[in-house]
Amino acid sequence: MKRILVTGAAGFVGANVTHHLLKKGYEVHLLVRPGADLWRLEDVLGDVSLASVDLRGSEAVAAAVLDSRPDSVFHLAAYGAYPGQTDVRRMIATNIEGTVNLVEACMAAGVETIVNTGSSSEYGFKSSSPSESALLEPNSDYAWTKAAATHYCRHVAVFNKVHLTTLRLYSVFGPYEEPGRLMPTLVSRGLRGELPPLVKPDIARDFVFVDDVTSAYLGAAGQGGLEQGAVYNVGTGIQTTIADAVSVARDCLDIPQEPQWASMEQRTWDSTSWVCDNRKIVTDLGWNPQYSFREGFEVLIDWFRRNARLRHRYD
């Protein structure tokens, strides 16, 4: 595996995957949507081959895959994960049609491995940590379109005997995260001695550091002999409440302000139970998260301090 193509490379996880691959010495090709803001990639644009392609155009996607001739493809392009992304038809076109176009192009080009990106939201609300075989009960347009893409990828893998794996990501955090999200907001406000508005303290997530997630992509692509169409949960297996996260932020950044709980309106996806069952990826791929929540948060703080030129995006 020498040459890797990354879709959605201008996004948070895609950009981190790109930086990680370059550090590991891979030849990296990127697909980004036309008009994408490349601020996360500014420092590596000279080290990659970049194509502006709309995944909804099957011919353009096929041409881009043939041109880059990748050994592996990491598919991270998606629409609908953020509150402002509400156009259901665009979700269908990007998350389902775009995935179909990409997978068909990869199969035609003889790509060895494809790693698709799923979401923990495919499970819907669960009272305990769901395994990969749990009933999917998506409760948003984004969630059901991602679930449909996962089912499609598994079908293609099983019936065509190709190495096509899906990683269901939990709450990824780290450098380059989308402005407005909790973790970068805690850091940017915390560096000024402040806290942002907060939801209820018992709202919980399985926060997984982005460097651990990038390792999961390489593990899924490089491991032979996997179940065809395998799906893996990617999370720590440890639930962190918002109260826990704020406590770590206050301690690491010496924030004097007391949290104002429920000063932010609760979101439809907020839950007091949201944690990953990661036993399958640990067993099959030997993957284990290397960062605790606190360790990842400290790395994020250091990244903010070293990248003052990007602070305006978060303030």
Q: Which of 60, 25, 28 is nearest to 41 (CA)?
A: 28
Q: Has this prediction a pTM greater than 0.95?
A: yes
pLDDT at residue 274 tops 70: yes
Q: How confident is the model at residue 228 (pLDDT cuts 50, 70, 90)?
A: very high
pLDDT at residue 266 tops 90: no
CA distances from 10 to 40, 46, 62, 85, 132 (A): 6, 15, 20, 16, 28
- For the stretch 277-294, pLDDT in tens is 999 999 999 999 999 999
Q: How confident is the model at residue 224 (pLDDT cuts 50, 70, 90)?
A: confident
pLDDT at residue 104 tops 90: yes
Taking the C-alpha atoms of residue 11 and residue 37, their distance in angstroms, rounded to an integer, is: 9
Over its C-alpha atoms, the chain yields an Rg (Å, rounded) of 19
Q: Which of 292, 281, 273 is nearest to 233 (CA)?
A: 281
What is the pLDDT of the chain when averaged over all its residues?
Answer: 96
pLDDT at residue 268 tops 90: no
What percent of the chain clears pLDDT 90, i.e. is strictly above it? 94
pLDDT at residue 155 tops 80: yes
Taking the C-alpha atoms of residue 29 and residue 203, their distance in angstroms, rounded to an integer, is: 38
Q: Which pLDDT belongs to residue 223?
A: 80
pLDDT at residue 225 tops 90: no
Taking the C-alpha atoms of residue 259 and residue 238, their distance in angstroms, rounded to an integer, is: 23
Taking the C-alpha atoms of residue 141 and residue 114, their distance in angstroms, rounded to an integer, is: 24
- For the stretch 199-222, pLDDT in tens is 999 999 999 999 999 999 999 999
Q: How confident is the model at residue 1 (pLDDT cuts 50, 70, 90)?
A: low
Q: Which pLDDT belongs to residue 269?
A: 75
The two structure tokens encoding residue 197: 């508005």
Taking the C-alpha atoms of residue 110 and residue 100, their distance in angstroms, rounded to an integer, is: 15
Q: How confident is the model at residue 2 (pLDDT cuts 50, 70, 90)?
A: very high
Q: Which pLDDT belongs to residue 157?
A: 97
- For the stretch 127-153, pLDDT in tens is 999 999 999 999 999 999 999 999 999
Q: Which domains are seen in the chain, by residue range? A: 3-172+208-234 (3.40.50.720), 174-206+237-276+291-313 (3.90.25.10)
Q: Which pLDDT belongs to residue 248?
A: 98
Q: Which pLDDT belongs to residue 270?
A: 85
